[in-house]
Amino acid sequence: MVYVFLADGFEEIEALTPVDLLRRAGVEVKTVSIYPDRKNVTGARAIEVKADITIDGVDTGMADIIVLPGGMPGTVNLLECRELMDMVDEQNGQKKRIAAICAAPARILGSKGLLKGKKATCYPGLENMMDGATPVIKTVVTDKNITTSRGLGTALDFACELITLLCGKEKSDEIRASVVG
């Protein structure tokens, strides 16, 4: 199970591209509103998305990957969600996969110290917020259980990396070719 967390102000392409491509690959994905009282979440470009579940419906024991999209103020809203941050800590403590794109690697994973000793990438200009990481200028970087990506323009590569991690390179290449990527 892959959980993609949504907070008001999330970057729509960074969240929905992985959902779309992972589902094409046959992976079970749930979009998650961080708001326990509502499924509707509004992205940074005022696109309203109805999440599959709210945060109180997440079973972290089933989480193969937790995905944290960027966007402003979406990234800050994710960071301020204590329940989600507890889930991220639990996922990391179990050495299970966490994926973050754009501002999320720096603002969330960096601020929590989860990138120490790891190679990582993020939105250009935020590298100094990736506390303890070795910044790498690549579209996607996976180091141990953490996958990071640079931003909206790298969402396809980010999604394909997640498919590779879960389903193998052959499936990832098949999905990339099917969307003319």
Give catalytic residue positions.
102
Q: Which helix (H) or strand (E) holds 15?
A: helix 12-24
What are the tokens at 120? 């990582």
The C-alpha angle 128, 133, 135, rounded to 5 degrees, equals 65
What count of other Cβ atoms lies within 10 Å of the Cβ of residue 40?
12
Is the Cβ–Cβ distance between 69 and 151 less than 8 Å? Answer: no
Q: What would the 3-class secondary structure string for 58-113 be?
A: CCHHHCCEEEECCCCCHHHHHHCCHHHHHHHHHHHHCCCEEEEECCHHHHHHHCCC
